[in-house]
């Protein structure tokens, strides 16, 4: 079975990538908007998955970092800066703010940390709304331009969707590298057993701050794409409910699983659209679907898959052990 597993996985991965590139060519404007939104939210959720899923640090502020990135990009690109420069600024700014927000996590954990980050989320919203000299206040910032990439204009929905998809690919590779590196292992150590981690030389303070900063930076990247996607931003999309949505994406997809955020974002962005035919009921159905899923599998969609695989592995392992044991007994 395992001999086929790897080529099968690669084939499946390539099929999904080809599908993401080819299928949307026939999509209408709205379909492409939704799919671009999925890519953007996947990036933000991947950041939160790093902070929460891998490093175990609860954050209700990811939406605020999307906002920080979005405002940075909106302000810069409407003043004539190119989007890549704006993305770099969004990353730097969210990384720095995320680092500072990590300090409370060195003292408080779990629900208490959630409250600290919730307060930060509110603070960020108030800054977006009240500092109108910078952010345009409740009127927001409009006419956000879409970039020219290698001289190609991305004003139309399809080219801009490819921009989102391209950035999603870059972020996915970077995160994949990160979680496989010793840093990723140290993040998981923070989640699983910080006390033991310390005694093994793991600088838990530095890694905690890094988990916050990198996760937040990815929120900033998502925001820097969100602004040119909608081409108009105001403070409302970046209030607490976005943070809660992102948290739900991570949990529903499967916190601490690499593919969790992609699935979670798909459910959060696409499921409401698919349920639209039920008209007035679609949000209720959506809420019920999420509740049922979490009752069935508290570890999210990928948690179900993980359990099935683990059960299969255990079966295979105990079969092997039985064989080994009988051989030992024969030898004796």
Nearer to other proteins, 29 or 205 (CB): 205
Q: Find the part of the chain contacting other proteins (CB under 8 A) among 100-108, 193-201, 226-234, 262-270.
A: 193-201
CA distance 62 to 168: 17
CA distance 182 to 138: 44
Residue of 31, 325, 265, 262 lying closest to 157 (CA atoms): 31
Nearer to other proteins, 178 or 293 (CB): 178
CA distance 250 to 6: 26
Nearest approach, Cβ of residue 327 and other proteins (Å): 12
| C-alpha R_g of the chain | 22
By CB under 8 A, residue 201 contacts other proteins: yes
Task: Kindly tell me which residue out of 20, 127, 188, 275 binds other proteins, with binding defined by CB under 8 A.
Answer: 188
Q: Find the part of the chain contacting other proteins (CB under 8 A) among 92-100, 112-120, 127-135, 178-186.
A: 178-186
By CB under 8 A, residue 312 contacts other proteins: no
Q: Interface residues for other proteins in 27-86 (CB under 8 A)?
A: none
Q: CA 230 from chain center: how many Å?
A: 19
Query: Positive or negative, the Cα torsion across 74, 76, 79, 81?
Result: negative
Task: Kindly tell me which residue out of 142, 153, 192, 291 binds other proteins, with binding defined by CB under 8 A.
Answer: 192
Nearer to other proteins, 156 or 205 (CB): 205
Task: Kindly tell me which residue out of 236, 283, 317, 322 binds other proteins, with binding defined by CB under 8 A.
Answer: 317
Coil/strand/helix, residue 211: helix
By CB under 8 A, residue 209 contacts other proteins: no
Bridge partner residues of 148 (DSSP):
153
By CB under 8 A, residue 206 contacts other proteins: yes
Going from the C-alpha of 237 to that of each of 78, 105, 128, 185, the distances in angstroms are 19, 26, 11, 34
Q: CA 39 from chain center: how many Å?
A: 10
- Size of interface with other proteins, in residues (CB under 8 A): 27
By CB under 8 A, residue 198 contacts other proteins: yes
By CB under 8 A, residue 101 contacts other proteins: no
Q: Find the part of the chain contacting other proteins (CB under 8 A) among 15-23, 39-47, 158-166, 313-321.
A: 313-321
By CB under 8 A, residue 325 contacts other proteins: no
By CB under 8 A, residue 183 contacts other proteins: yes
For the chain, how many residues are written? 332
By CB under 8 A, residue 3 contacts other proteins: no
By CB under 8 A, residue 7 contacts other proteins: no
Nearer to other proteins, 122 or 198 (CB): 198
Which phi-psi region, left, alpha or beta, contains residue 199 (left: φ > 0; alpha: ψ -120 to 50)? alpha
Nearest approach, Cβ of residue 207 and other proteins (Å): 9
Task: Kindly tell me which residue out of 204, 231, 297, 299 binds other proteins, with binding defined by CB under 8 A.
Answer: 204
Structure tokens at 311: 């059960």
By CB under 8 A, residue 327 contacts other proteins: no
Q: CA 65 from chain center: how many Å?
A: 12
> C-alpha dihedral over 177, 252, 305, 18, to 10 degrees?
-60
Q: CA 68 from chain center: how many Å?
A: 16
DSSP class of residue 139 equals: G
Binding site for other proteins (CB under 8 A): 178, 180-183, 185-186, 188-189, 192-193, 195-206, 314, 317, 321, 324
């Amino acid at each position: 079975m395992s001999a086929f597993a790897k080529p099968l996985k690669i084939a499946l991965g390539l099929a999904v990538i080809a599908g993401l590139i080819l299928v949307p060519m026939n999509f209408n404007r709205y379909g492409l908007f939704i799919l671009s939104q999925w890519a953007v939210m996947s990036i933000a959720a991947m950041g939160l998955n790093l902070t929460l899923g891998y490093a175990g640090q609860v954050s209700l502020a990811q939406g605020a970092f999307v906002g920080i990135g979005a405002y940075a990009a909106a302000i810069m690109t409407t003043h004539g800066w190119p989007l890549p420069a704006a993305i770099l600024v969004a990353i730097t700014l969210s990384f720095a703010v995320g680092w500072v927000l990590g300090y409370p996590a060195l003292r408080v954990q779990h629900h208490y940390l959630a409250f600290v980050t919730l307060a930060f989320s509110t603070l960020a919203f108030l800054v977006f709304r009240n500092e109108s000299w910078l952010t345009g206040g409740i009127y927001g910032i409009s006419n956000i331009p879409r970039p020219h990439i290698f001289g190609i204009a991305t004003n139309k929905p399809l080219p801009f969707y490819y921009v989102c998809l391209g950035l999603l690919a870059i972020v996915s590779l970077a995160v994949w590298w990160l979680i496989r590196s010793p840093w990723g292992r140290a993040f998981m150590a923070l989640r699983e057993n910080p006390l033991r981690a310390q005694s093994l030389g793991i600088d838990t303070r530095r890694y905690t701050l890094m988990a916050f900063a990198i996760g937040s930076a990815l929120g900033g990247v998502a925001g820097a794409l969100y602004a040119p996607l909608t081409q108009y931003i105001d403070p409302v999309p970046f209030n607490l409910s976005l943070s809660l949505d992102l948290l739900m994406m991570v949990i529903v997809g499967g916190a601490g699983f690499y593919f969790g955020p992609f699935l979670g974002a798909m459910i959060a962005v696409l499921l409401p659209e698919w349920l639209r035919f039920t008209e007035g009921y679609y949000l209720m159905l959506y809420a019920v679907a999420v509740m049922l899923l979490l009752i069935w599998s508290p570890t999210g969609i990928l948690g179900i898959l993980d359990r099935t695989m683990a059960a299969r592995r255990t079966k295979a392992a105990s079969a092997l052990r039985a064989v080994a044991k009988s051989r030992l007994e024969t030898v004796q």
